[in-house]
Amino acid sequence: MTSAPQSTSTRPYLIRALYEWCTDNGFTPYVAVLVDETVKVPREHVKDGEIVLNISFDATQALKLGNDFIEFKARFTGVARDIMVPIDRVVAIYARENGQGMAFPPPVPGTPDSVATPARSGLPSTPPEASGNGAGLAAVPSTAALTKPVDEPPPPSGPRPKLTRIK
């Protein structure tokens, strides 16, 4: 009897999908991160072992949403910092404006990131419908980790900016 090959985690793919959903809808994507020695963030902004990071285009530079790490440069209290977060330390990604997004199970010490499945993550087997939009996204439960991050840019005013090609 042969066993099925080990598949990669769904977490980085879901993070990228929800990041794209947030930006396509003009929302500000935030990630909640459990901080340990593998997470490279400004420690002075960590509260209760967690930090919430704004990963929007306006708040980051050189953002890379990879399969193993989220990497970018950002300013904290006016100082540019390099940020590196292992994917398995991300416990939620959500839109600041309405709280819709997805929570992930916290990493289990000593084990690689497991595939986030509804049965293992504690999420319902069928996604709850979002209020009125049929997107299938649920509001992330409010916790201490889902507070406003430091140096939050002002909310967008007016329509979403568009890129114009100049020849």
For residues 15 and 90, is the Cβ–Cβ distance under 8 A? yes
Structure tokens at 100: 């819709």
For residues 98 and 104, is the Cβ–Cβ distance under 8 A? no
Pick the residue with more confidence: 31 or 132? 31
Give a yes or no: residue 47 inside a domain: yes
Give a yes or no: residue 138 inside a domain: no
Per-residue pLDDT reduced to its tens digit, 79-90: 999 999 999 999
Per-residue pLDDT reduced to its tens digit, 107-162: 877 655 443 333 333 333 333 333 334 444 555 554 444 445 555 555 556 666 66
Number of domains in the chain: 1
| Structural domain of 90 | 7-101
pLDDT score recorded for residue 108: 76
For tokens 């500000």, name the residue: 28
Give a yes or no: residue 37 inside a domain: yes
Give a yes or no: residue 31 inside a domain: yes
Q: How far apart are CA 2 and CA 147, in angstroms?
A: 46
For residues 17 and 137, is the Cβ–Cβ distance under 8 A? no
Query: Percentage of the chain with pLDDT > 90?
Result: 56
Residue 95 pLDDT greater than 50, yes or no: yes
Helix (H, G, I), strand (E, B) or coil at 10: coil
Question: Domain of 56: which CATH number?
Answer: 2.30.30.220
